[in-house]
A and B are shown apart, each in its own frame.
Chain A
Amino acid sequence: GAGVSQSPSNKVTEKGKDVELRCDPISGHTALYWYRQSLGQGLEFLIYFQGNSAPDKSGLPSDRFSAERTGGSVSTLTIQRTQQEDSAVYLCASSLSWGLGNTIYFGEGSWLTVV
């Protein structure tokens, strides 16, 4: 696609429910990233997929968070048993390659509210 596409754009869920957030990167981009941004805060790295290599999961805040990337394209971020502190904008991004200096393009984000 022309840009990084994320869905849903907004999600309100009850505490304890599971949520899935989807990211469709720019066509041909081999690297895909998930970041989280709480209201008025900076960007917190979550996970990073680079080609066919094992993902870098070092930023996932707990074992309730997981992500997968199927076929080297679409990625799904799953949050199990959501908590109120999970409320944030979840930003997906992609880059042409995973080498240093590749420009990262962000999607519009998925705004998650846990009530």
Chain B
Amino acid sequence: GQQVMQIPQYQHVQEGEDFTTYCNSSTTLSNIQWYKQRPGGHPVFLIQLVKSGEVKKQKRLTFQFGEAKKNSSLHITATQTTDVGTYFCAGPGGSGGGNKLTFGTGTQLKVEL
């Protein structure tokens, strides 16, 4: 079945450093979504990418969808303590169509002062 892997699994950075998480799917994706989950919280939608090679920015966050639509990345510039959490990518997966998402393995970000 479809697999969505993310690297790294964990990342510790000093506040102000940059951070990048990479997402790789075993299958081509029609779109990819990114979610953030704060410690003890639930996943919250960040953004969706649809087009091959698409790049979107949200303040210090830059999201990219690969040309082959099988990979994606999230880059955070000058991390802050509020960025702490686990970042998941997710893509439509499995049979049956619809919006059923397969989530990536997640990257847990810790930011130290």
Contacts and interface: CB of A to CB of B under 8 A. Distances in A.
B48 A101 contact: yes
A31 B42 contact: no
Interface residues of B, number: 27
A100 B94 CA distance: 13
A109 B98 contact: no
Contacts of B92: 100
Contact of A31 (B30, B98, B102): B98
A31 B101 CA distance: 12
Contact of B96 (A58, A103, A104): A58
Interface of A: 31, 33, 35, 42-43, 45, 48, 50, 56, 58, 91, 95, 97-109
Given A56-B94, A101-B99, 19 more contacts: A33-B100, A35-B103, A42-B103, A42-B105, A43-B88, A45-B93, A48-B100, A56-B98, A98-B98, A98-B99, A100-B97, A100-B98, A101-B30, A103-B33, A103-B45, A104-B99, A106-B42, A106-B43, A106-B44
